[in-house]
């Protein structure tokens, strides 16, 4: 991928942001990061990333869900692919997973943490090609 391909990574786990940024940069992606949903949404508006990697549980347990819906309603951002990276199912001991849908969870893909690096890169490349 081109060095100009920009990915916004929004997650409150600094270690995860650091390691995932290193992985993405090793694959020639430019990475912009934020550690909460409000800042992440602002950076999405300001930076116009090609793709968003979004955590769920940050300032609140559902912040990522809220940000995903806000992005889907924004005329300038609604076509940006969003991958939800979450450990909410394990952290909250939920017996079910999450699937994208147009209203409640308007994202392109949901991936459970921990995500295998090659699986993440393949998913990003697939979404950026489409």
CATH number at residue 82: 3.40.50.2300
In a domain, 72, yes or no: yes
What pLDDT score was predicted for residue 4? Answer: 82
Q: Measuring CA to CA, how many Å separate 49 from each of 21, 61, 78, 114?
A: 14, 24, 12, 23
CA Rg value for the chain: 13
The domain of 111 spans 6-129
Three-state DSSP at 14 gives helix
Position 39 in a domain: yes
Residue 22 within a domain: yes
Residue 13 in any domain: the answer is: yes
* Count of domains for the chain: 1
Q: Is residue 35 part of a domain?
A: yes
Residue 2 has pLDDT above 60, yes or no: no
The strand pair at 30-34 and 82-86 is best described as unpaired
Report if residue 69 sits inside a domain: yes
Residue 1 lies in a domain: no
Closest-CA residue to 68 (of 87, 50, 49, 55): 55
- pLDDT, tens only, 97-110: 556 567 656 789 99
pLDDT, residue 106, reads 74
């Amino acid at each position: 991928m081109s060095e100009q391909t920009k990915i916004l990574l929004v997650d409150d786990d600094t270690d995860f942001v650091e390691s995932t940024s290193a992985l993405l940069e090793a694959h020639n992606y430019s990475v912009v990061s934020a550690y909460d949903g409000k800042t992440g949404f602002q950076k999405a508006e300001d930076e116009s990333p090609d793709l968003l990697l979004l955590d769920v549980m940050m300032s609140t347990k559902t912040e990522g869900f809220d940000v995903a819906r806000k992005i889907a309603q924004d005329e300038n951002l609604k076509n940006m692919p969003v991958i939800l990276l979450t450990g909410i199912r394990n952290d909250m001991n939920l017996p079910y997973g999450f699937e994208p849908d147009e209203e409640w969870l308007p994202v392109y893909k949901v991936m459970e943490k921990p995500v295998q690096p090659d699986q993440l890169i393949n998913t990003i490349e697939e979404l950026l090609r489409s």
